[in-house]
Structure 1
C-alpha cells in the first residue's frame, strides 16, 4: 500500500506488518527492538480460532477509552476501509473471515474470525478455497451472520462508487484488474461475482482461475466484513456501518467525534482476539499532533484514559524520552513502512547509473533530514525486516553515508542529468538528496509535485521524473504483498501504477508466478532470495529506511501494544484501569 505522508519530520507513523516492541530507553531518543524477527503461521487446529481470547492480566470491564487524532478516519464502511486508522478501528465494530492473533512481539498466527479456520485449500492447488462459518456470530440487531451476508459484503466491494478499499479479492475473482467491468454489482445485486458461491448457510466458496495461496491472508482485510442486503445504504454506509463486532457506532459527528458502545449480541466465545473491556470507545478529532501529545503528557481528566494517535512529534521526542515518568506510558516499535528512492527505469535505462545511485546514497544524512533516529532506521533491502522470511542483505555496500568513489567509478566520467520529483512539503529532503547525489557526479534538477497529487502523478506511465521518494507497507507480512505488487511489469497500465519503477523483466515475472504458486509456509525464503536478485539484476530503487513508531497514552490506559500486522497501536486488549 502506498501512503500519503504529511510533514517529513512530523511524528513517526506506524504501518502494516510492523515488528512492534517496547524496550528500555537509555539515550535521548526512543529505543526500539531492531533485532526482532518476524515469524508467522496459519492455524491448523480449529480450537485456535475459537474464543474467548485469553484474559489480559489486571484488565477489567468498564470505563471510556479515548483516542485523540488530528483528522477524521477517511472511511468507516468496511468495504472501503484502507487507511491504517481505519483498519485498526474497523476490527472493533466489524469481523472478517480471518484475523491475526498478535501480542506485538512479532510472532503472529492467522486464525478464523467469522470462519472456523483460516480456510481450506480444497484441491491443494490454491485455486479453490472453502470457509465454514461459525455458529453464534451475530449482527448488532441479533440476527445470525451466515455465508450469504459475508458474500454480499464481498460482492458490494465491486461497486465502483465504493472507492478506497483493497482490491485483491475482486481482481482474483474476476481474474483482471478491471474487475468492475467484468462483473457489474449494480446490475446484479441479487447474484454474486464469478467464482464466489454459498453452497449453504455455513459455507463460503472461492474459485479462482489462477492459484492464490495467500487468500487466507487477503481474507483478513475488512472487505470480508458481512452485511445484510437490506442494511446496505451505499455510500452512506460510511456514516453508520452495521456492526458485526464487539462495538457498534452510536454517534458520528464527522470530523469531531466518533462514539462506539458495546454490541450486546457479540459473543466472546466465538472471538479469538477481541476483548471489549471498555464500555465506550470515543475518537476525538481536531488537535494537531503536538497539541494532542501535550494533552496526553499532561494526563489531566479524561486524557488519563486517552491515546495520542498521531504519535510523539519530533519536537517533543527528547522531552518525552528523557522523562522517566513517561516511559511506562510510551509504546515504541519499528514499522514495516519502507521508504525508497524509486528509479523510473523507463527513463533511467542504464543499470550502471541505477547501481551508482545505490552506492551514492547517504542514508544517515537522509534520516537526519527526515527527523533522526527517533523516526527511522536504515535498510538496504526491498523487503522490510518485518516480512516473514526476511534476510538482511546489502548488494551495494556503501556504508551509512554512501560511497561516492564507487558511484563515480560506475558512472565512468558521465554526469547523468536526473529530474527529482518531490512533494511540495518535503523541500528539506530534496535539498539533502540533491547535495548528496551531486557529490557523486549526478546533476539533479528538483521539480515539486503537489503533495495531494503525488501518488497519482508518479503512478502515470510516461511521467516526467527520473527519481522520487516512494513508500510501501504490505497488507500482510509476506513478500507476496510487496515484490510482485511493486515490480511485476505485467501489471503496468496507463495510470494508477504500484510498479512505479516501471520495471518489466520476463525472468523476474516468471519467478513471481513460481513463488506465488508455492504453499505460503515455503514462500518466505524464496521472497528473500528474490529481493536480493532484483536488487542485483535490476536495481529498480534505492532502499532508504523503515519508520519507527512512538506513542503515548494516559496513566489509566492498559493493554496497548503496536500491532505486528497493522503497525498502529492495537486496541483489542485495551482497558481502562479502575
Structure 2
C-alpha cells in the first residue's frame, strides 16, 4: 500500500541478526523493542537456477508512470532502469546516464551510455530517454510522478547521446529523483504500444531481468537478461518468479515451508515464527520510512490545527508500536523519517533532537477539542485488511479520538483499492484521515518535505502556506547539501508546528530470505535498486 511521494504498507519486529550489521537500536519508551540493523547480507557465493519471491499484492500495472507503491517498484527495480541509480547504501550514482552535469542552475545535462540493450535487442538512444521523460509531463498519461517535473520547462535531445532538461527554476532534487521511477527509461517504440504495462503487452526495459510472462492473479515470471550492460550486476539467478500472496498468514506460512524463498514487507504477527524459522532469516535494514496519519480533508473537522494537535496528543504511540509493528520502531517526532536525511545525517540528528517529543496527554487534548468547538464532530479514517497494521492503527485512532470527544468512524477500503487513496482524489472523498507508511526514494529529506508545498500531487489535504512554499524553493536551489539540509530543517519545524501530517513511528525495513540464498539488500533501496541481481547461493 504505497503511501509515499511514494508510500506503502510495512511493519516489523525485533531480531538480533548475524552478518555484517550495524549496532543494535534500542527503542525509546515502553512500546519499543530492541532490534539490530543489518546493512547488507553476505555476498552470493555462486549461481542458483531459480528463485521464488513473494509480493503482498499484484501490481495493477507495470507502467513506470504509475509505479507509486511497494509492490510495483519491487518488481520494476529488477526490470527497468533509471538515468541515475540509488545504491543500497542510499547514495546516488550514474545509471543509464554515464554522467550528469549541472552547467548552470537551470539545466541538467545527461550523457547517455553507449551500447545499452533493451530486452528486445534494440539499442538505447537519446530519443528513448526523451520519450520516457516527457510522458511524466503529459496530462493524458496522468503520471503519479508529475511533481518531480513541476519545475521542468522542456526536455530535449541535444546530441547523439545527450539529453538536456531545461528548468523554470533551480531544482537540485530533480537529479536525485532521476534514480526513482521518475527517471525510468523505456523503449520509445514500446511506449507507443496500446496496452503498455499490462499483462498482455508488458514492458521492454534495460534491467538485469526481462519479463517473460504475467499470469494474472498468480505470478510474474522473469529470466536473466544475457545482454545486460553492467557486468557488476549480472544476475546469478536464471529464472525469477514473483508470486502474489495477499493473505498475511499464508505469506508467512509459505516462507516457513520453503514454498517461497523470500519477501520484503512482512506482516508483524508473523515475526515471532519467522525469527525462529529453520528455513531462513528475518532481517531488519536501513529505512527512510515513517508511519503517519495524513489529514486528507482540511475543509472538515481536521481543518482546525487545534483538532489535529489534539488528536496527535491523544495517541498512545508506544502502544501502537507494540500492536502494529510487533514492537520494532521508535516513536516519531516529525512526519519525515530521520533515516531519510542521507545528505546530512549528523546535522539531521541535531535538528531532530530540537523537536518536541510527542507524548500522550488526554486531558490536554480534550481541552483543545473544547477550545476548537469540535466536541462531537465527526472524523472518518480509512481502514483495510490489506495489512494488519492498518486496522490496528485505525482502531487506535478511533479509541483516542473518542476519548477526547471526537466521533471517529472507520471506513473500510478494499485491499486492491488502498493504493488509489494516494493517487486518485475521488477515492479519498468522504475520508478525513488515512494511515500511511511513507518512504523516500532518495537520501534527501526535501523529497518528503517538498510534497507539502501548495498544489503538490501528494499534498493530499491541500495544505497551503506561503512561508513554507518559499522555503521549498529556497532549499531546491541550494546545491550545497549542508545548506539545503539547514533549510529543510525549517520546513520540518513548520510541518510539526502545523501538524500537517500526524507522526506515529519510524520502523526499520524488513526482509526474510531462505538460508540457501544470500546477497539481497536489507534496506529500502530494494525499491529502486536491482536487488534480485545480487541474489545467489549461500554455500
Q: Distance in 1 between matches of 2:372 and 2:167?
A: 50
Indicate if the aligned counterparts of 1:78 and 1:241 stay in contact, CA closer than 8 A.
Answer: no
- Say if 2:286 and 2:524, in contact at 8 Å, map to a contact too: no
Q: Which residue of structure 1 aligns with residue 102 of structure 2?
A: 121
Measure the CA separation in 1 of the matches of 2:510 and 2:33: 7
Equivalent residues in 2 for 1:76-475 (5 A)?
76-102=62-88, 107-117=89-99, 119-123=100-104, 125=105, 127-158=106-137, 162=141, 165-174=144-153, 195-231=154-190, 232-238=192-198, 239-269=201-231, 274-286=233-245, 288-299=247-258, 303=260, 306-309=261-264, 311=266, 313-321=267-275, 323=276, 325=278, 329-333=281-285, 335-343=287-295, 344-347=297-300, 348=302, 350-374=304-328, 376-388=329-341, 389=344, 390-391=348-349, 392-393=352-353, 395-399=355-359, 402-408=360-366, 410=368, 416-417=374-375, 418-425=377-384, 428-439=392-403, 441-446=404-409, 448=411, 450-451=413-414, 452=417, 455=421, 459=425, 467-475=433-441
How many Å separate the matches in 2 of 1:465 and 1:561? Answer: 36
Computed over aligned residues only, the root mean square deviation of the Cα atoms, in angstroms, reads 3.9
Q: Which runs of 5+ in 2 are unaligned?
A: 14-19, 385-389
2:387 matched residue in structure 1: none
C-alpha displacement of 1:277 = 1.3
2:380–2:432: 8 Å Cα contact kept in structure 1?
yes
Kept after mapping to 2: 8 A contact 1:67/1:282: yes
Shift of the 34–358 alpha-carbon distance from structure 1 to 2, 3 Å rule, reads farther
| Structure 1 partner of 2:499 | 539
Deviation at 1:381, TM superposition (A): 0.9
Q: Distance in 2 between matches of 1:529 and 1:515?
A: 10
In structure 2, do the counterparts of structure 1 residues 547 and 26 end up closer, same or farther at CA, with 3 Å as the change threshold? closer
Per-residue deviation, residues 216-265 of structure 1 (Å, max 9, x unmatched) = 21111235343444333132343331131222222332222322222222
The TM-score with structure 2 as length reference comes to 0.80
User: In the superposition, relative to structure 1, how do residues 314 and 110 fare at CA in structure 2: closer, same or farther (>3 Å)?
Assistant: closer
Moved more, 387-396 or 515-524: 387-396
How big is the shift at 1:112?
A: 0.8
Contact 2:285 2:523 in 1 (8 A): no
Asked whether 1:484 is paired with 2:450, we answer: yes
How far the C-alpha of 1:456 sits from its partner, in A, is 6.6
Q: 1:403 to 1:276 in 2, by over 3 A?
A: same
Alpha-carbon distance change, 397 to 259 in structure 1, aligned in 2, over 3 angstroms = closer
Equivalent position of 2:17 in the other structure: none
Which whole-Å CA distance do the structure 1 matches of 2:224 and 2:37 have between them?
37
Distance 1:10 1:143 in 2: 38
Contact 1:21 1:332 in 2 (8 A): no
Matches of 2:356 and 2:262, distance apart in 1: 41
After superposition, the Cα gap between the structure-2 partners of 1:221 and 1:30, relative to the gap in structure 1 and judged at 3 Å, is same
Which structure has the greater CA radius of gyration? 1
Secondary structure in structure 1 of the residue aligned to 2:227: coil
Equivalent-residue separation in structure 2 for 1:449 and 1:325 (angstroms) = 37
Name the structure 2 match of 1:527: 488
1:150-207 C-alpha deviation (Å, 9 max, x unpaired) = 1122234455564564224543335xxxxxxxxxxxxxxxxxxxx2111222211110
Distance (Å, rounded) in 1 between the aligned partners of 2:125 and 2:323:
52
Match of 1:32 in 2: 35
Name 1:3's counterpart in structure 2: 3
CA distance in 1, matches of 2:10, 2:475: 38
- Shift of the 240–438 alpha-carbon distance from structure 1 to 2, 3 Å rule, reads closer
Cα distance per residue 1:419-474 (max 9 Å; x no partner): 221224366544432332444x4332425253537727994799666555445322
Q: Against the structure 1 CA distance between its residues 502 and 58, is the aligned structure 2 distance closer, same or farther, given a 3 Å change threshold?
A: closer
Deviation (angstroms), 1:293 = 2.1
Aligned counterpart, 1:190: none
Matched pairs, number: 504
Secondary structure of the residue aligned to 1:290 is helix
- Cα distance in 2 for partners of 1:315, 1:34 equals 20
| Local SS of the residue matching 1:383 | coil
The secondary structure found in structure 2 opposite 1:248 is strand
Contact 1:157 1:223 in 2 (8 A): yes
Quote the Cα distance in structure 2 between the aligned partners of 1:209 and 1:150.
20
Matched residues in 1 for 2:423 and 2:177: separation? 27
Please say which of residues 214-223 and 378-387 is displaced more in the overlay.
214-223
